[in-house]
Structure 1
């Protein structure tokens, strides 16, 4: 394990479906650049595992947190995002945070049900669900209850939320610890060509 000062940053972004967590997480990772892994619950559970989130003996909670732990141990900063409902994922996510030797920042996007439906309908790639289905999934203020967890209200703009998480988590100033871009010859060549242009 890396010592705390050298260990990468773990950022967890949670919230109900349609709260904006995926869009926010993708923008934070885009702004950070290489050296930051983005782990999306929906992609891993729905696409890779094709596991229902209500089935017995779920693999997804362990699979997702194992992937995050592997990336962290390999020097990647990690953004983990998803509904990550406390009843099903809480123990796994809390364990991930507890064993991580570096900084961890946890955010819950607290958005009302009506606003989650509005945001869902405005998505560039909406998933095929009805408001009735979304209501069945909706759980108000489903926080993890870990120290330092920050609740972001729905009044926070997209830009404000991205800036808040980037700066409060420390990612805005965190150096990359992976070979890309720190020691990668291809990244060095790209940086050199950009600097000379």
Structure 2
């Protein structure tokens, strides 16, 4: 029997657009068998790489991690600003090379709203509105087939529901060892 391919979901948007919150909720609602790959964690924590430096490793590193998880049978939710000027080629190649279902979403939130949301975070990163303006790229689309723009009026629940259903992830069964073939999961020890 040929196993189906896992689903790749890419969630992008400017700082403070809600992409991390939405991505985490998509993964939480899906459960085991779905990997969450966060650009900020990989670039800032694991690599400690500045996003403005020359010869960045982060774009290829992030795409390689996503491919490894997909190859392992995990559905993947990849999230981040993933600015097309730096990450576009790696993300487009990841989507184009994936033989299974892939869906891309851009959370389109105005600059003023991104600042408001950023300041309302329990632990905002220490940046000013002027710094955020330097990073802000309105409607920075990848230009891949089927890419969806999610307007700022969309609530978290509506955004997560859209992503889960539109991408097909809500109907996609687990394909990774955990929980599909794992003895521990089979025993109810998820």
Aligned equivalents of 1:113, 1:38: Cα separation in 2 = 26
Residue number in structure 1 paired with 2:175: 177
Residue number in structure 2 paired with 1:144: 142
Aligned equivalents of 1:79, 1:23: Cα separation in 2 = 12
**TM-superposition CA deviations, 1:42-99 (whole Å, max 9, x none):** 0000000000000000000000000000110110000000000000000000000000
Could you tell me how far 1:124 is from its partner in structure 2?
2.3
Match 2:119 to one of 100, 118, 121: 121
**TM-superposition CA deviations, 1:110-166 (whole Å, max 9, x none):** 000000011111112311111111011111000000110000000111110000001
Residue number in structure 1 paired with 2:64: 66
Residue number in structure 1 paired with 2:16: 18
Residue number in structure 1 paired with 2:160: 162
Aligned equivalents of 1:183, 1:126: Cα separation in 2 = 40
Find the residue that maps to 1:172 and give its secondary structure.
Answer: helix
The Cα RMSD (Å) is 1.3
Match 1:44 to one of 42, 45, 51: 42
Q: Which runs of 4+ in 1 moved over 6 A?
A: none
Aligned equivalents of 1:157, 1:65: Cα separation in 2 = 29
Aligned equivalents of 2:183, 2:28: Cα separation in 1 = 21
Count of paired positions: 189
Aligned equivalents of 1:179, 1:16: Cα separation in 2 = 34
Match 1:32 to one of 30, 33, 52: 30
For structure 2, the 5+ residue unaligned runs are none
Aligned equivalents of 2:155, 2:74: Cα separation in 1 = 28
Could you tell me how far 1:29 is from its partner in structure 2?
0.2
TM score, norm. by length of structure 2: 0.97
Residue number in structure 1 paired with 2:187: 189
Could you tell me how far 1:21 is from its partner in structure 2?
0.2
Residue number in structure 2 paired with 1:89: 87
TM score, norm. by length of structure 1: 0.93
Find the residue that maps to 2:51 and give its secondary structure.
Answer: coil
For structure 1, the 5+ residue unaligned runs are none
Residue number in structure 2 paired with 1:76: 74
